[in-house]
Amino acid sequence: MKQKVAFLHALRHLAHFLAKMRGIMNLAKQKHIVLGITGGIAAYKAAELSRLLVKQDITVQVAMTDAATHFITPATMQALTGNPVLIDQWQDDKGMAHIQSSRVADAIVIAPATADFIAKLAHGQADDLLSTLCLARDCPLLVAPAMNKQMWSNVATQRNLQQLIADGVTILGPVSGLQACGEEGMGRMLEAEELAQNILALFNREKSLNELDGLKVLITAGPTYEAIDAVRGITNRSSGKMGYAIAQAAQEMGAEVTLVSGPTALARPNAVQVEDVTSAAEMFDAVKQHVDATDMFISVAAVADYRVAQPSAQKIKKSDGNLTLELIPNPDILAYVAALPNAPFCVGFAAESENLKEYAEKKRRAKKVPLLAANLVQQAIGADDNELILFDDVGIHHLPRADKLTLARALLHHSKLLYTKGKSA
């Protein structure tokens, strides 16, 4: 009898020990984020975002700018997260809140991020607790912009965003929609549910951010320039923004990315191998050098269809007579790659000014590519947002208007599904 009691006692101790160990292990697995809130009307969405994250057993530490407290109260955020809200650098006795909070964080998320705060991040300014915390971090930084459409499209804001992308910051959104000012356009912050999904994807790397793990992706982007003489040439209005966004998104998703870029003024995507070219012939040569080691080829560049047969090494002098130039076709890079014996999975792009669906599907079938993304030139070229229509063997898929990085992630997700399906067929 005594032995039985001792045995039961030992079992209880073992169960208590195992429960304690499970608790320790769960605590070790629990993720921590710093949710930074800046002064915008979209701050109300941060409350719902906090609730969704806490529901997923993520510890949320809120840090607010002074301006943010005019839109949502620290008491609300403390009630939702169960943690005191950081506002002042000197809240703790040692004045080291920016160091302590950033060191335990698995990620810092700024939602909403105003144009002003984005400018601070881009220039390394640290004049309040939240900006100092971001500068002192050693974890990923995710930024969800929210602002008026004119502020979003302002060249200074776009320049700052390009700098953040080059620095490895993940930009989430924005989208086009009705704004608090009554206007409609790009600049509306993503909804809390979508932001939560992106944050969970960061913590679930094997399912999302590493979706392209082990794949080598080759991308062409930007315009080409075909010389007429020493100072003149034939080119187009492509900015390269879509191709660069795809390169950045592919890198975020775990791919080894090579970007063959025509002349652009864009900042180079973070951790991406970039090869600069000028003409279509140079781009073709660069693609041929890399394509044998490529799993996925995405042809986004707006390659000139024709080049001058005999470009002049010197400037052609103006005269009163007509000037006739003989134009000859440039190589079709996408068609060449798609026709290779062991061709990579190919994604083409089509920019049309009319009859979008008819011309895009005709192009896809002519080039024999499994996936083609199409848009209207008048809506896409040079713009910071866009909408895409995807054509594949199954049918037509619409990606609603959003910023190009958001579209790039959606396109790559669809591409990976088709790539995997093709490999298993």
For residue 95 the two structure tokens come to 């004045």
One-letter identity of residue 172 = L
- In the residue annotation, 181 being an active-site residue is answered as yes
Smallest Cα–Cα separation from 230: which of 316, 130, 143, 304?
316
Smallest Cα–Cα separation from 111: which of 150, 141, 70?
141
The β-bridge partners of 329 are 306
Residue 325 CA to residue 311 CA, distance in Å, equals: 9
**Maximum separation of any 2 CA atoms in the chain, in Å:** 118
Residue 408 main-chain phi, psi, to 5 deg = -60, -40
Residue 54 main-chain phi, psi, to 5 deg = -60, -35
E strands, 116-191, in order:
141-145, 170-171, 175-178, 184-188
Length of the chain: 425
Contact 373, 231 (CB under 8 A): no
Residue 192 CA to residue 51 CA, distance in Å, equals: 9
Catalytic one among 134, 139, 181, 346? 181
Residue 175 CA to residue 190 CA, distance in Å, equals: 6
309 in the Ramachandran plot: left (φ > 0), alpha (ψ -120 to 50) or beta? alpha
Residue 79 CA to residue 241 CA, distance in Å, equals: 41
For residue 104 the two structure tokens come to 């335990």
For residue 46 the two structure tokens come to 């941060």
Contact 410, 385 (CB under 8 A): no
Residues recognised as catalytic = 181
